[in-house]
Amino acid sequence: MVFESFAESLSFFLWSTFIISVLLGAIVNKTNFCTMGAVSDMVNMSDYGRFRAWLLAIAVAMLGVSVLEYVGMVNVTDAFPPYRQTSLIYIENIIGGFLFGIGMTYASGCGNKTLIRIGGGNIKSILVFAIIALIAFYMTNPFPNSDKTLYSVLFYEWISPMAVQLETNQDIGAMIGGEDNTQMMRLIAGLVVGLGIMVYVFRSADFRSSKDNVIGGIAIGLIILAAWYVSSNIGVTAEDENYTLGEYYAEWDMLAEDDEGKPATGRALSPQSFTFINPIGQTYGYVKDGFDASLLTFGLISVFGVILGSFLWSLVSKSFRVEWFVDLKDFLNHFFGAVLMGFGGVLALGCTIGQGITGVSTLALGSIITFISIVFGSALTMKIQYYKMCYEDEATFMKALITSLVDMKLLPSSMRKLDAI
């Protein structure tokens, strides 16, 4: 997909992103694909259906990425965000993922689910969106009249030195294969892990009989893959040579006649797939700067597309319903959850979709760590909430926490403070 002008290639890139995003929003709404709901079903009802759908989406995306990368049809190593970077920010992955898991539990859903709920008429999610947008934006952009960001003020000095510098990219294939066998090992690792997940997922007869879970998992995995493919294969012809969008941007002064149509940043032109916390933050910058067209990116367009897709499906299915906060506690829970998702999603370089599917599809170690941390943070929060609800005043936070960790087999049973229910 090579175009004769940068404007044409960028337009195709953004419109393709929008169409794929609309499909994502409609399918997630239709199938009730929900990562927070998946953890909730697993913890509270021992129902693994939606969690298997999440794993199925990972497997489909992973198998597709492995094969297409091997034959040179996608480029996920130079992605934005840099999932496979040689710097393993494992502490940020753990803390960010854990915070995000807690946050999505209090806010009734992850970043993607927030967009789905907005499209379905949920006004509560507009508040969640606004708070995430504000925090995510200032985590990566300086405050007015300052060179400081939330990240530099709160995290950089103590968390940055903990990063581990690797000799290879941090994906499993590169770490096992080394410099000489990276591509083959990426293919083998992707096929082995992806097929292994597939076997686990489809071993369940209940899951196989759940049309929405199967369709949701497969479709979302394919949509993640489609975004990888489109963003990796759009180019520009200039002076008898082909350039990727990112390469053209880097050579803008040499190739372009003027700055008309030049995007605000070149990083967002890299190969990429869906993630939602940083893009939600970009919407704040887009509005703040007067809807400047140079700020339109894959991420920003995907936010609008998912909301529209969800809205359209809610109209078709007649499920559109305006929903507001039940009481002050409901408001505070969503507020608190949104704050944690804003911080956690940026720290961890993604959300349950961004790291939990897109990142894991590259077999990046940081993405896998983030995925585990999100699930753990959410599951632990649900356990604590359950005990506090059942035992009320008797269940202090510490008693509920310790008992929850015992239930999760992370502490010995002798430390149990509350009887299992």
Domain regions of the chain by residue span: 2-415
Q: Long-range contact list for 140-146, CB < 8 A, 24+ apart?
A: 140/278, 140/281, 140/346, 141/281, 141/285
Mean pLDDT of 240-244: 87
**pLDDT tens digits along 1-34:** 888 889 999 999 999 999 999 999 999 999 999 9
Res 239: pLDDT: 81
Indicate whether 301 pLDDT > 80: yes
Indicate whether 421 pLDDT > 80: no
**pLDDT tens digits along 311-348:** 999 999 999 999 999 999 999 999 999 999 999 999 99
**pLDDT tens digits along 60-119:** 999 999 999 999 999 999 999 999 999 999 999 999 999 999 999 999 999 999 999 999
Distances (CA, A) of 301 to 6, 21, 231, 261, 395: 18, 8, 13, 17, 45
Indicate whether 361 pLDDT > 90: yes
Mean pLDDT of 111-135: 96
Helix/strand/coil (H/E/C) assignment for every residue in the chain: CEECCHHHHHHHHHHHHHHHHHHHHHHHHHHCCCHHHHHHHHHHHCCCHHHHHHHHHHHHHHHHHHHHHHCCCCCCCCCCCCCCCCEECHHHHHHHHHHHHHHHHHCCCCHHHHHHHHHCCECHHHHHHHHHHHHHHHHHCCCCCCCCCHHHHHHHHHHHHHCEECCCCCEHHHHHHCCCCHHHHHHHHHHHHHHHHHHHHHCCHHHHCCHHHHHHHHHHHHHHHHHHHHHHCCEEEECCEEEEHHHHHHCHHHHCCCCCCCCCCCHHHCCCCCCCHHHHHHHHHHHHCCCCHHHCCHHHHHHHHHHHHHHHHHHHCCCCCCECCCCHHHHHHHHHHHHHHHHHHHHCCCCCCHHHHHHHHHCEHHHHHHHHHHHHHHHHHHHHHHHHHHHHHHCCHHHHHHHHHHHCCCCCHHHCCCCCC
**pLDDT tens digits along 164-190:** 999 999 999 999 988 888 999 999 999
Mean pLDDT of 130-142: 97
Indicate whether 224 pLDDT > 90: yes
Q: Which two structure tokens, joined as six digits, stand for 393?
A: 């005043």
Tell me the percentage of the chain whose pLDDT exceeds 90.
89
Split at pLDDT 50, 70, 90, the class of 303 is: very high
127-131, 241-245, 362-366, 373-377: least confidently modelled range: 241-245
Res 340: pLDDT: 98
Indicate whether 293 pLDDT > 80: yes
Res 194: pLDDT: 97
Res 241: pLDDT: 87
Res 258: pLDDT: 84
Q: What is the mean pLDDT of the chain?
A: 94
Split at pLDDT 50, 70, 90, the class of 200 is: very high
**pLDDT tens digits along 375-402:** 999 999 999 999 999 888 788 999 999 9
Res 269: pLDDT: 93
**pLDDT tens digits along 71-87:** 999 999 999 999 999 99
